[in-house]
Structure 1
Amino acid sequence: MDIKIHNRFDPDKLDEICAVYQSAGWLNHSNDVITKVFQRSDIVTFAVSESRIIGVGRALTDGVFNAAIYDVVVHLEYQQIGIGSLIMSDLLEQLKDVSCVQLISTTGKEEFYRKHGMKKLKTGMARYLNSSLTDEYLE
């Protein structure tokens, strides 16, 4: 399978991006939400096969001290074949000069991120508006 990586958000591909999120069970990502989060992201990565977006990732950064990776998601039909690793590698390459790169893993995906050099934070903290996310992710 020939996978290409693209680093520009194309609003004409919204339905494909939405299909990636929906296939992975991320049902709150409508076209409007996707447009907002990708337009406000500093770094974006799209995995493309045969002109179709099959995976996404994004990050926010100040370009020097801090960055946060969000939404590394691969379409259900293309999972477990290394596409998530391609996306993470591209994001981390784009962030290679940033002192601290953080992310919050979805439950059960922690080992995937460990393989990419990520480690648990001793002092990480968060706040969620959604109580079910509070219950899942916070102590």
Structure 2
Amino acid sequence: MTNEITYSTSGDLKINELLDLFEHSGYFPFKDKNDTERLREMFDNANLVVSAWHRGKIIGISRALTDFCYCCYLSDLAVRDDYKGSGIGKKLVELTKEKAGERCKLILHSNADAEGFYQKIGMKKINSAYAIQRDF
């Protein structure tokens, strides 16, 4: 199956495809799953998106913001539940880092359920991050 998976940096993603992916990945970037306008804005304004496809169906996504020379913030990473464990998430992270450039540091804010995955693929946990939380 893994040889049938293709990866793309084309930003031409349809909202219904993204909603279906997030619905079947156990991850949604914010509380209101009906706010399709916000979801569209998130992807329109991201400058580095890598998607994974199997037989014409989106099965994984990496959405990042970067300056391509110093820092790349990996904001969202999702893989369909039925494809987890097959290396797709790791490949999406690798391709994101590759596209951002070797001089870029890749950073992210992980949810607790995904910490083991990020450690497994070689990312190091740091304790020097701060955030101003949003309400929604």
TM-score grouping bracket, smaller chain normalisation: 0.7 to 0.9
Runs (4+) off by over 4 Å: none
Contact 1:20–1:54, Cα closer than 8 Å, also in 2: yes
2:114 corresponds to 1:109? yes
**How large is the Cα RMSD of the aligned pairs?**
1.9
| CA displacement at 1:91 relative to structure 2 | 0.8
3-state DSSP of counterpart to 2:19: helix
- Matched with 1:74 is 79
Could you list the runs of 5+ residues in structure 1 that have no partner in the other structure?
A: 132-139
Identity level (%): 26
1:85–1:99 CA distance, 2 compared to 1 (3 A)? closer
**Per-residue deviation, residues 12-39 of structure 1 (Å, max 9, x unmatched):** x321111111222426354322211111
- Matched with 2:17 is 16
1:33–1:114 CA distance, 2 compared to 1 (3 A)? same
Could you list the runs of 5+ residues in structure 2 that have no partner in the other structure?
A: none
Contact 2:27–2:78, Cα closer than 8 Å, also in 1: no
Contact 1:67–1:100, Cα closer than 8 Å, also in 2: yes
| CA displacement at 1:103 relative to structure 2 | 0.3
Choose the corresponding residue for 1:28, options 32, 55, 65.
32
Normalized against structure 2, the TM-score is what?
A: 0.84
Normalized against structure 1, the TM-score is what?
A: 0.82
- Matched with 2:102 is 97
